[in-house]
Amino acid sequence: MLWHGWRNEPTTQRHNPVDPLSVEELAYRLSQIGSDCADESRTDFRWMVELDATTLIGTVAIKDISWRMGYGELAWGIGEAYQGQGWGTQAVALLIERVFTTSRVVRQFAAIHDENWASRRIAEKNNMAYEGLLRKHFIIKGRRVNECIYSILRDEWERST
C-alpha cells in the first residue's frame, strides 16, 4: 500500500507524529473514512492524490471535524519523489475547495511542524492565515516540537476565488 510507504519516508517521519501502523491497520483505517463531505455522520475524510489515472502520489484529508462548531483539521502528504513540484499546493487547493463547496464547514486549519517549511509554504500559497505557534505541542520520534497553526475561513476563500 502506497500510503504505508509514504508514512515511512524520512520527510514524513521528520515532520509528523505518525504512529507505526501495519498495512492491514491502514487498510482498515481507510475503510472507516468517508469521501463525501456532506455525510455528517463521519468526522474524517481522505482522498488519494493522483498524478494521472495510474499514478498515486500522495494523500489529503480533513479530520476531527466538529460539525457543531463548523471546523476541521487539514492534513496532507506527498510522496518524496513528487515533492517540490507544486502537486501539494494544487492538492490542498482542491481539498479546501471540496470541503467548502460540499459541507457546512466554515473553518479549515492545519497544524504544521514549525520546521516543515515546505508544508508551511503550501498553506501560505493557499491563502491560509498564520495564527500562531503551539509550543511543544506534538511529540515526533520522542522529541517535543512546536506546531504552527494556519487556517482559512469560508468567506476568505469565497473572496479569493
Query: Does residue 158 surpass a pLDDT of 90?
Result: yes
- CA-nearest of 13, 8, 11 to 82 is 11
The pLDDT-based confidence of 32 (bands split at 50, 70, 90) is: confident
3-class SS of residue 116? coil
- Report which of residues 3 and 68 the model is more confident about: 68
pLDDT for 1 equals: 56
pLDDT for 4 equals: 67
Q: Write b or e for each residue in 62-71: b if 16 or more Cβ atoms lie within 10 A of its Cβ, otherwise e.
A: beebeeeeeb
pLDDT for 126 equals: 98
How is residue 71 written as a grid cell?
471546523
C-alpha distances in Å from residue 52, one per residue of 49, 64, 87, 98: 9, 29, 12, 19
Average confidence (pLDDT) over 147-157 = 98
Segments making up each domain of the chain, as ranges: 2-160
Average confidence (pLDDT) over 123-146 = 96
Query: Does residue 18 surpass a pLDDT of 90?
Result: no
- Report which of residues 84 and 4 the model is more confident about: 84
CA distance 32 to 45: 9
8-12, 21-25, 107-111, range with greatest mean pLDDT: 107-111
The pLDDT-based confidence of 24 (bands split at 50, 70, 90) is: confident
Average confidence (pLDDT) over 98-127 = 97
pLDDT for 6 equals: 66
C-alpha distances in Å from residue 66, one per residue of 8, 62, 101: 29, 11, 17
Average confidence (pLDDT) over 129-146 = 95
Average confidence (pLDDT) over 123-142 = 96
* CATH number for the segment(s) 2-160: 3.40.630.30
Average confidence (pLDDT) over 126-134 = 98
